[in-house]
Copies of this chain bind each other. A is one copy, B any other.
Amino acid sequence: MKYTISDIARLAGVSKATVSRVINNKDRGVGPETKARILRLIDELGYLPNTLARSIVVSQTKTIGLVVPDIVNPFFPQLIQGIVRHASQQGYTVFLCNSDNDIATENKLVMSLIEKRVDGVILATSAEGDDSTCFLLKHYGIPVVQVDRVAARANAGASVSIDNRGGTYAATRYLLQAGHRRIALLGGPKGLSTTTQRWRGYRDAHADQGVDLPSALLFYGEYSIEGGLSMTGELLRTEEEFTAVLAGCDTIAIGCVKALLNAGVRVPEQCEVIGFDGIEMAEIFDPPVSTVAQPIGEIAEEATNLLVGIMSGSISSDRHIVIEPSLILRRTTRMR
């Protein structure tokens, strides 16, 4: 049931070299009817070339590694789907790794990817402050593109990321132009670059519109529904006046809307809410949540193309691509 190239060669009465030429469509140096005979034989016997043997000589595996921090977080399956699809279109198969948000695991996984001789890696790192994973890849000369979360340090390679500042800037400006003057910010964990960048957009929009920052309305917490619930609880307890909320992510926004409704605050009549990310849950939630949506498909496509480009040498390995998110207005903002 298992044939090798030598079997085919012997059965066809030619040399291995000739069979190899036919398999790889290097038509130079093989006559048409020899070719046909070999092709027929291959088909009849169901011969499959051994890609391992091939890889070892051409030193290329047509394989890439994809490392994500948490596959259960709904953002990542969509990203994975896009990357797997585009990679497959370009002839690459992907090794999927889940680091469980642990940098040590991430390093170990990447080592095993290197051992498997992947041609390149797409990395959504689990520790922004720590570029050890990128360092490893660099050390072994393996192309890498970072995605979503981008390690800050210099020796990190190419990247595809979202314009976090621009996204919250647009959302904040939208709310300010609608007349809001007391917009609460329910940000993510302090210290994360996304949290900081999103805060900047919020701040800059206020500055550009000439509105003072309502510093009593700034909160930070977990990127989760619970985080949204508890921050909103705090917000309500301060008894500060506010007429809109900008959330650091969609799950925070959902928790926030829940808490507001429970407290008898009507959404969006008494308070408008905008999230960030554009996860499916935001659409399905009742009421559907307005959000700054990351075009995940686009991120996946750019990341894959970038990596393929770097691997083929046609793109420099320190290119950074920034993608603009878009404001999607649903039912937690008023119709205008």
Contact = CB atoms under 8 A, between A and B. Distances in A.
Interface of A: 1-2, 46, 48-53, 55-56, 61, 63, 66, 71-72, 74, 76-78, 80-81, 84-85, 88, 93-98, 100, 109, 111-117, 139-141, 225, 254, 258, 280-281, 284, 286
A95 B98 contact: no
Nearest to A61: B52
B84 A114 contact: no
Given A2-B141, A50-B56, A93-B97, 20 more contacts: A46-B139, A48-B115, A48-B140, A52-B117, A56-B56, A66-B96, A74-B74, A84-B96, A84-B97, A84-B98, A85-B98, A85-B100, A88-B97, A93-B95, A93-B113, A95-B96, A96-B96, A254-B284, A258-B286, A281-B284
A140 B3 CA distance: 11
A100 B141 CA distance: 34
6 contacts: A1-B139, A63-B116, A81-B98, A93-B97, A93-B112, A254-B284
A140 B1 contact: yes
Contacts of A94: 95-96
Nearest to A262: B286
A117 B93 CA distance: 12
Contacts of A56: 50, 52-53, 56
Given A1-B141, A61-B52, A93 B77 contact: no
A66 B115 CA distance: 20
A88 B139 CA distance: 24
Contacts of A77: 71-72, 74, 76-77
A45 to B, nearest CB: 12
A81 to B, nearest CB: 5
The 5 closest A-B pairs by CB, nearest first: A96-B96, A52-B56, A77-B77, A71-B77, A52-B52
A84 B1 CA distance: 30
A81 B281 CA distance: 20
Nearest to A286: B258
A150 B85 CA distance: 24
Given A77-B71, A95-B93, A52 B50 contact: no
Nearest to A1: B141
A142 B88 CA distance: 22
Nearest to A78: B72
A71 B61 contact: no
